[in-house]
Structure 1
Amino acid sequence: MKASTPRRRLLWPILASLTVTCALASPAAGSSDRTTPRLSTAQRAAATQLAADQHLSAQEAQRRVLRQDRLTDVATALRTSLASRFGGAWIDQEHGGRLTVAVTRPAAAASVRQQAARAQAPDTTTVVVRRSWQQLNRMSDTLARRIAAANKSAPHGLQSAVVVQDNKLRLDLPRGKALTGAQRSVVRWAQHTFGDALTVSSYAHASKPFYCGGQYSCDPPLRSGLAIYGSNVRCTSAFMAYDSYGYYMMTAGHCAEDSSYWQVPTYSYGYQGVGSVADYTFGYYGDSAVVRIDDSDWWQPRGWVYPSTRITGWGYDYVGQYVCKQGSTTGYTCGQITETDATVSYPDRTLAGMTWSTACDAAGDSGSGVYDGSTAHGILSGGPDSGCGMIHEPVSRALSDRGVTLLAG
């Protein structure tokens, strides 16, 4: 069985957006490049959302979605080749969906141009910044640890994210809520330590995990994706994975925390046992779980997001990129990645290294596979307690932490 690898190896708010289901029009035409494949169902959903968000024609939105993989491949390759000269990258939807690459030295722009030319992305641009992506991540990790400690005794949590477009960190305070003494100390420490590398802002809506307690309390259930039922819990299955011991379904760690054995609905409206939780994390280091499949003959293991999306590999997240999820409550929804390396405050939990996007989701969607075309990006964890927005665990970390390999179809 062929192991999945990241595309060309390498890393890794909230806008009210339209909910797009899988009941879409017939396949749209691709770009003028004859070798470009036609859009998949998920890509059509992403293009529909992109067109609505950016007020674009359907043709232009499809063109941008089709070339996302090429642009993110360039960014991922540059992350390694530029090393400390790499300041981050994002897809700039305000300027034609072009790739923008931040570099810490002007001379590095030549490498960016060469990579972009090979990927047929001549509109790629560069900006010179002070701080490398490595520095931003170290700063973010240091801040996240202090936030996590301060949030433990607080009714309303601090949050943060790397704002790659500004080459800064952003520290978010709960709007209209009083901070504890420990939280005020973190804010003062961050302002003193990071200086002009930090922006202090606020957020309006608290974040929460989106598993469905009570199994049947989510409305409407089973629109899309594979629902999995545990002890008084309903979530969604993300991707398939494997190791030397067998095959697994991936889902959210907070779902596994509330249930150890899982079932799936059958065509006869009964339920069939799937298996038990083999490993999970729900906390500072992420939100992922693997459920070992009892009967691999029943599942017929393959690299798919159940039931129809073929997954061939995994990739890292970039701001401006459009991703979709297939959940058992809200079906297909898509949105733009707005933040990476985010620290998120849940009730009684703080998670670091997460990704925010504008996709809509709801209770029961937790554990959904988040992907772009045939590329896996993450496992849905939660969202705000009001309006649209999606938080996902990057699949790169989930695979590494769970010690499994993504099953590529």
Structure 2
Amino acid sequence: SSHGSAVRIVRDGQGLTTQATVYPGSSMSWTNNSGSWVCSVGYGAHDSSGRQYLVSAGHCVADLTDLYFNKSHFAKGVHSRYALGRQSVDMGIAQVDSDDSIATQVGTWGQGSNVAVKGSRRAASGASLCKSGQTTGWTCGAVKSYNVSVTYKDEHGGPNTVVTGLATSSVCTEGGDSGGAYISGNQAQGMTSGGPIGQQCSGTNSSGSSYFQPLDDALSYYGLTLNTN
């Protein structure tokens, strides 16, 4: 495993984005004892009883708090494998309210029509992929490698956290993109975990780097089936 120095991609809560449905890549927010925070929406999945879940980056749901979309409650964190200062896996899930749903299309922030989700077959290293996130919108690049470990530095002076099992890509991300959806063709790939401290993105194909939690591993761990279009 290679170790890089990076930062978890969350940011202090600011304005929310209005969209009619909860599309992967949309803004979601929550509050804990240290403030209010923003991540991006990942993928919808269900268990064998039909209960609906949001599959997210673990650090976006680590507090198991209520999650809001456009200031309305839509889900509540129920499990995370991320714990600040401990060796972690950056996956987690939230149960979606019965009157809400996660769309089976990824929002592209105006860069063409939304992308239908048909499955979660893992893309090979070198394959092109794009991500949707509330800060930098729709950015694209390629898969670099899998099974990478990263040391995340806490911006607020807390302990470092080693995260294992990530994939790395040349897709650019910034704070607030965490949890957002990566897709290659019509196959869902994962959720933003983090990226280099201070990285700034400029446009769809801006060069950069990011880490994402592979979706197939999260579905397998939680025994969930991806909702497809």
CA contact (8 A) 2:10 2:39 kept: yes
In proportion to residue count, which structure has more helix? 1
CA contact (8 A) 1:260 1:276 kept: yes
CA contact (8 A) 2:173 2:210 kept: yes
Kindly name which structure, 1 or 2, has the bigger radius of gyration based on alpha carbons: 1
The one of 165, 177, 182 equivalent to 1:365 is 177
Distance 1:343 1:256 in 2: 20
CA contact (8 A) 1:257 1:282 kept: yes
Identity of aligned residues (%): 25
Higher relative CO (CA 8 A, sep ≥ 6), structure 1 or 2? 2
Q: Does residue 340 in structure 1 map to residue 146 in structure 2? A: yes
CA contact (8 A) 2:136 2:173 kept: yes
List per-residue Cα deviations over 1:253-286 (Å, max 9, x = no partner).
1011245101110xxxxx2111211222116452
Q: Which amino acid in the other structure matches residue 241 of structure 1?
A: A
Distance 1:404 1:354 in 2: 19
Q: Which amino acid in the other structure matches residue 195 of structure 2?
A: G
Distance 2:173 2:118 in 1: 24
CA contact (8 A) 2:78 2:93 kept: yes
Partner of 2:94: 291
Aligned residues: 197
Partner of 2:134: 328
Q: Does residue 303 in structure 1 map to residue 104 in structure 2? A: yes
List per-residue Cα deviations over 1:183-237 (Å, max 9, x = no partner).
xxxxxxxxxxxxxxxxxxxx6xx2111011x2018xxx64993111110111001
Q: Which amino acid in the other structure matches residue 212 of structure 2?
A: H
Partner of 1:350: 162
Q: Which amino acid in the other structure matches residue 304 of structure 1?
A: Q
The one of 235, 251, 273 equivalent to 2:56 is 251
CA contact (8 A) 1:343 1:350 kept: yes
Q: Does residue 398 in structure 1 map to residue 218 in structure 2? A: yes
Partner of 1:237: 41
Partner of 1:313: 119
Partner of 1:407: 227
TM-score, scaled relative to structure 1: 0.45
Distance 1:389 1:352 in 2: 17
Partner of 1:216: 14
The one of 161, 186, 193 equivalent to 1:374 is 186
The one of 64, 74, 81 equivalent to 1:281 is 81
Partner of 2:209: 389
Structure 2, gaps ≥5 residues long: 109-113, 154-159, 200-207
- Give the 3-state SS of the residue equivalent to 2:130 in structure 1: strand
Q: Which amino acid in the other structure matches residue 293 of structure 1?
A: V
List per-residue Cα deviations over 1:7-30 (Å, max 9, x = no partner).
xxxxxxxxxxxxxxxxxxxxxxxx
Task: List aligned pairs for 1:150-169, cutoff 5 A.
Answer: 160=2
Q: CA RMSD in A?
A: 2.2
- Give the 3-state SS of the residue equivalent to 1:314 in structure 2: coil
Partner of 1:227: 27
Task: List aligned pairs for 1:129-148, cutoff 5 A.
Answer: none
Distance 2:72 2:142 in 1: 36
Q: Which amino acid in the other structure matches residue 261 of structure 1?
A: D
- Give the 3-state SS of the residue equivalent to 2:91 in structure 1: strand
CA contact (8 A) 2:136 2:174 kept: yes
Distance 2:123 2:116 in 1: 19
CA contact (8 A) 1:305 1:369 kept: yes
In proportion to residue count, which structure has more strand? 2
Structure 1, gaps ≥5 residues long: 1-139, 141-159, 161-171, 173-202, 266-270
Partner of 1:187: none
List per-residue Cα deviations over 1:58-104 (Å, max 9, x = no partner).
xxxxxxxxxxxxxxxxxxxxxxxxxxxxxxxxxxxxxxxxxxxxxxx
TM-score, scaled relative to structure 2: 0.78
CA contact (8 A) 1:328 1:364 kept: yes
CA contact (8 A) 1:263 1:274 kept: yes
Q: Which amino acid in the other structure matches residue 210 of structure 1?
A: I
Q: CA deviation at 1:342?
A: 0.9
List per-residue Cα deviations over 1:334-373 (Å, max 9, x = no partner).
1122222111111221112211111111111000111112
CA contact (8 A) 1:230 1:259 kept: no
- Give the 3-state SS of the residue equivalent to 2:60 in structure 1: helix
- Give the 3-state SS of the residue equivalent to 2:82 in structure 1: strand
Distance 1:335 1:274 in 2: 31
- Give the 3-state SS of the residue equivalent to 2:192 in structure 1: strand
Q: Which amino acid in the other structure matches residue 336 of structure 1?
A: A
